[in-house]
Structure 1
Amino acid sequence: MARYGKEHKEETRRRMVKSAGRRLKKDGLDGSGVATLMADAGLTNGAFYAHFASKDDLIAATIADQLQQQRVLLQELAGESDGFMRFVHGYLSPEHRDDAENGCPSGALLDEVARSSPVVRRAYSESIRGVVDDMAALVAPGAPASGRGKALGCIAILVGSLQLARAIDDPQESATVLAEGVRSISALLAAPPG
């Protein structure tokens, strides 16, 4: 019986985390069991325990991976003068609102993360701090302290607006929520540091 190499194991783990990210954001943290998550990755249940001790460990790894992807995007926008507002407009767009499966984990899962196990909450907390730091570098490149506060405010507006827009069944009112989120972030960024 041939053993797979380290590279194959890492690729399998990445595949599991990527497919779990889509499924968890679509169905929620409790919406799918290990069997479904493994089937999505094209694997059997037996493969799961070679990579993760529990479903919570997979969820924690998935959330960390999803937020790392968001950090990469923010870092790519750092050199652009309008980069952050382009991010805001994309985040608070009807396309993102209507595609939770491929969108931000905060917008899709934040309420569930708050009620999750300590391992999931820790992974989210550690990862979102990195997002805040990257966002602070965009909103106030020369003033990290005031930038951090504004970044936290922006995240609150982004996630709250997205979740509210997804919950409202009237398309026009939902679009208004998204537009008001953009307006609120613009106002927050224009406000003097406080």
Structure 2
Amino acid sequence: MVRYAKEHKHETRRRIIATAGRRLKRNGIDGSGVATLMKDAGLTNGTFYAYFASKDELVATAVADQMRAQHENIVAQTAPGRAGLEQMIRWYFSTEQRDSVEDGCPNAALLDEIARSPDPTRQAYTDGALVLVDGFAARLAPHDPPSARLRSLSLLGMLAGTLQLSRALTDRQLADDLLEQGIRNALALLDADEHN
């Protein structure tokens, strides 16, 4: 029997996590079975347990990975201060972001299912959400980020909820108008914070 190098096993695990994250956002947690998740990674169902003890472990790991990636690719890449928040808001409420579920935000794609998931998945989400929120807070109140944490959490809720609703609407014009209103609402929240 040939033993794979540790790097190969690590790379295979990363591939499973990445493809699972995309599938979970597209089909949901309940709509994504182990066989489908492994097929997406180009592996057999039988190899799953060499990498994860259960589907719940994979889901928690994939959620953590998706939240980390969102922070690294979006929040950490934007400008400091209000300009960075505005940049994030405009990206988040873009039609491209809305229409690209599997490549988009894990919050808007999975939030309702995460709320019904086991504690490890909910904790993975919570940890990731707090990293995002702290990134927002550092831009809202650079000299006192803890003071802006709850407002930043509200901003995250506004972003995710508006995007979820926009994705659910069958009327494309109404969905587009909702994204535009979402931008105005989020910017008004930022402006209100500046005047407090």
TM-score range, shorter chain: over 0.9
The equivalent residue for 1:29 is 29
- 1 CA distance for matches of 2:79 and 2:144? 15
* 1:170-185 matches, cutoff 5 A: 170-185=171-186
- 2 CA distance for matches of 1:85 and 1:158? 12
Offset of residue 166 of structure 1: 0.7
The equivalent residue for 1:56 is 56
Cα 1:5–1:80 change in 2 (3 A) is: farther
What is the TM-score with the length of structure 1 in the denominator?
0.94
- 2 CA distance for matches of 1:130 and 1:9? 28
Q: In the alignment, residue 146 of structure 1 is paired with which amino acid?
A: S
* 1:120-159 matches, cutoff 5 A: 120-159=121-160
* SS, match of residue 173 in structure 2: helix
Q: CA RMSD in A?
A: 1.5
Offset of residue 99 of structure 1: 1.0
Q: In the alignment, residue 62 of structure 2 is paired with which amino acid?
A: T
Offset of residue 192 of structure 1: 3.6
- 2 CA distance for matches of 1:36 and 1:152? 34
* SS, match of residue 191 in structure 1: helix
Deviations 1:134-171 (A, max 9, x none): 12112222221232122111101100100010111111
How many residues of Structure 1 are paired with residues of Structure 2 in the alignment? 194
- 1 CA distance for matches of 2:193 and 2:36? 49
**Would you say the 8 A contact 1:28–1:109 is kept in 2?**
yes
Q: Which moved more, 1:113-122 or 1:78-87?
A: 78-87
Q: Which moved more, 1:146-155 or 1:31-40?
A: 146-155
- 1 CA distance for matches of 2:193 and 2:60? 37
Cα 1:88–1:57 change in 2 (3 A) is: same
* 1:65-144 matches, cutoff 5 A: 65-72=65-72, 73-79=74-80, 82-144=83-145
Displacement over 3 Å in runs of 4+: 78-81
Offset of residue 81 of structure 1: 6.0
Any gaps of 5 or more consecutive residues in structure 2? none
Any gaps of 5 or more consecutive residues in structure 1? none
- 1 CA distance for matches of 2:139 and 2:173? 31
- 2 CA distance for matches of 1:80 and 1:19? 33
What is the TM-score with the length of structure 2 in the denominator?
0.93
* SS, match of residue 102 in structure 2: helix
* SS, match of residue 102 in structure 1: coil
* SS, match of residue 4 in structure 2: coil
Q: In the alignment, residue 77 of structure 2 is paired with which amino acid?
A: E
**Would you say the 8 A contact 2:81–2:142 is kept in 1?**
no
Q: In the alignment, residue 188 of structure 2 is paired with which amino acid?
A: A
The equivalent residue for 2:43 is 43
